[in-house]
Amino acid sequence: MVGGLLLIIVGNIRGWAWVNNVYFRVGHLLAIAFVVAESWLGILCPLTHLETWLRRQAGDTAYSGSFIQYWLQHLLYFDAPPWVFTLTYTLFGLLVLAAWLIWPPRRRPPSGRQS
């Protein structure tokens, strides 16, 4: 999702019409909306549950919390409470919504010809 937002911003600055494809943009918006809704409802990502189950099946130790929370903690050595991640996801969702409003999606790229 972070990569998608970066593509939307850079692509619009560079004039790449494909980054405003309606299917790409709707998919991106729905994906972050899903993450934000999960965090507000206190639900872990289904992929986190699957990963935990697969780790246990392999005899590995499973971690508690979300995938992103786990790796951010280990990469940054920063133990943040869940509300920090909820706030981060919400702010990121607002950035995606702002990009939607600044560069609205289009069904077809604008043509260079005038009718």
Instruction: For residue range 1-42, list pLDDT tens digits in order.
Output: 889 999 999 999 999 999 999 999 999 999 999 989 998 998
Q: Kindly indicate the confidence band of residue 103, based on its pLDDT and cuts at 50, 70 and 90.
A: very high
Q: Kindly indicate the confidence band of residue 114, based on its pLDDT and cuts at 50, 70 and 90.
A: very low
Within a domain: 96: yes
Locate 115 and state its tokens: 């009718």
Within a domain: 110: no
Q: What is the structure's pLDDT at 2? A: 85
- Mapping DSSP to helix (H, G, I), strand (E, B) and coil, where does residue 19 land? helix
Contact 72, 80 (CB under 8 A): yes
Q: What is the structure's pLDDT at 115? A: 41
| Distance between CA atoms of residues 44 and 41, nearest Å | 9
Domain of 75 in residue numbering reads as 2-102
Q: For residue 100, how many other CB atoms are within 10 A of its CB?
A: 16
Within a domain: 71: yes
Within a domain: 111: no
Contact 85, 39 (CB under 8 A): yes
Within a domain: 33: yes
Domains in the chain, number: 1
Within a domain: 108: no
Asked whether the predicted pLDDT for residue 56 surpasses 80, the reply is: yes
pLDDT in tens, 57-101: 888 876 667 767 777 666 665 567 888 888 999 999 999 999 999
Q: What mean pLDDT comes out for the span 42-65? A: 81
| Distance between CA atoms of residues 2 and 16, nearest Å | 18
